[in-house]
C-alpha cells in the first residue's frame, strides 16, 4: 500500500514540464508535474491522459474542440489521439495518471521529451 502526501512531494522538485513518478496503478504511472508557460502541441496516439489540478490553473487548448480551463480540484481526461496544448500562465501543480509507456510529449519529439526509462521517481 502506498501513502503519499502530494504537497510534500511537490516540494521535492523545481523543474517545470518534467513529470516525476510517485506511484503505480494497474500498469499506469501516477505522476506529478509543475507547469509554467506554454508547452508544445502534442497527442498520445494510444493513451488517454488524466490531468488533476492540485494548485493553480491550467488551460488545455485543442485543435478540434473548445478550450478547457481547469482550476484547483478540477480534472480532465484527454482521450487518445486528441491533440492538445497545455498552458499555465502562473505555476500550476498537476497530477497525471497515464500508462507507463506514455511520453509526456506524446508522438512529438523535442528537446523537452524525456524517455520513459529516464523518468524519475520521487
- Which DSSP string corresponds to 76-103? EEEPTT--EEEEEEEEEEEEEEEETT--
**11 band by pLDDT with thresholds 50, 70 and 90:** very high
- Give the pLDDT score at 120: 77
- Flag whether the pTM goes above 0.75: yes
Domains defined along the chain, listed by start: 12-100 (2.60.120.10)
- Give the pLDDT score at 69: 98
Q: How many CB atoms sit inside 10 A of residue 91's CB? A: 12
pLDDT at 103 over 80: no
- Give the pLDDT score at 113: 59
Q: Return the C-alpha torsion angle 90, 5, 23, 70, nearest 10.
A: -30
Amino acid at each position: 500500500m502506498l501513502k503519499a502526501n502530494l504537497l510534500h512531494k511537490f516540494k521535492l522538485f523545481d523543474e517545470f514540464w518534467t513529470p516525476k513518478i510517485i506511484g503505480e496503478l494497474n500498469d499506469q504511472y501516477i505522476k506529478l508535474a509543475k507547469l509554467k508557460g506554454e508547452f508544445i502541441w502534442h497527442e498520445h496516439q494510444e493513451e488517454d491522459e488524466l490531468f488533476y489540478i492540485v494548485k493553480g490553473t491550467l488551460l488545455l487548448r485543442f485543435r478540434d474542440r473548445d478550450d478547457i480551463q481547469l482550476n484547483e480540484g478540477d480534472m480532465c481526461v484527454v482521450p487518445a489521439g486528441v491533440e492538445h496544448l497545455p498552458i499555465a500562465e502562473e505555476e500550476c501543480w498537476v497530477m497525471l495518471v497515464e500508462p507507463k509507456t506514455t511520453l509526456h510529449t506524446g508522438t512529438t519529439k523535442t528537446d523537452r521529451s524525456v524517455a520513459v526509462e529516464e523518468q524519475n521517481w520521487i
